[in-house]
A and B are shown apart, each in its own frame.
Chain A
Amino acid sequence: DSGVTQTPKHLITATGQRVTLRCSPRSGDLSVYWYQQSLDQGLQFLIQYYNGEERAKGNILERFSAQQFPDLHSELNLSSLELGDSALYFCASSEAGRTEAFFGQGTRLTVV
């Protein structure tokens, strides 16, 4: 158990809908990262937050947004969903000043 908790584990939704994925980082970790793993793309970095502030952005679509709350949990919002958004979404967290990130079990999103 990495200490990173993601909910829900599975999500099935229709095209055009909006969903929210939730992540609770390891206790004390200030950095939260979101990654997408689709079948043909491998693990792709989406976005990073550090203590509530956006720190880095990857190839995140404009339809996607994220935030980190004062209690350090993070949410990834995906809107106007398309079939191609079906993927595993992982959250990871790390301590300040450390490079090793610890991953949650992921949320499997299926868009039908």
Chain B
Amino acid sequence: DQQVKQNSPSLSVQEGRISILNCDYTNSMFDYFLWYKKYPAEGPTFLISISSIKDKNEDGRFTVFLNKSAKHLSLHIVPSQPGDSAVYFCAAIITGGGNKLTFGTGTQLKVEL
């Protein structure tokens, strides 16, 4: 049972444009959400997170939006750069439950020149 879903396996965007990566979850107990970026042959790198008490968190070019009623979150990257090309994983946590991450299957982002 996939509790965190990323329905788009891949996304291609032009340099300078906005990249929007989407993630849906089914477990209403999740109360903290994170995005990780992964390059080939490296471990996932933490990007940005959001608590369920917020609906938006911003860090430089990265903004995460959370819609609790829809059980949906999205990561916006503006402007997209070629170095952003990587696999992006969304992950969810039930805080207080050991903080184990439940990951989505990832979206391969390709930023083209």
Contact = CB atoms under 8 A, between A and B. Distances in A.
Contact of A56 (B41, B46, B100): B100
Interface residues of A, number: 25
B49 A103 contact: no
Interface residues of B, number: 23
Given A33-B101, A43-B103, A100 B43 contact: no
A105 B41 CA distance: 7
B21 to A, nearest CB: 15
Contact of A99 (B34, B44, B89, B103): B34
Candidate in B43, B45, B102 with the most chain A CB atoms within 10 angstroms: B43
B63 interface: no
Contacts of A42: 89, 103-106
B105 A45 contact: no
Residues of B contacting A: mostly: loop
Residues of A contacting B: mostly: strand
Nearest to B43: A103
A31 B93 CA distance: 15
A50 B100 CA distance: 12
Interface of A: 2, 4, 31, 33, 35, 42-45, 48, 50, 55-56, 58, 90, 92, 94, 99-106
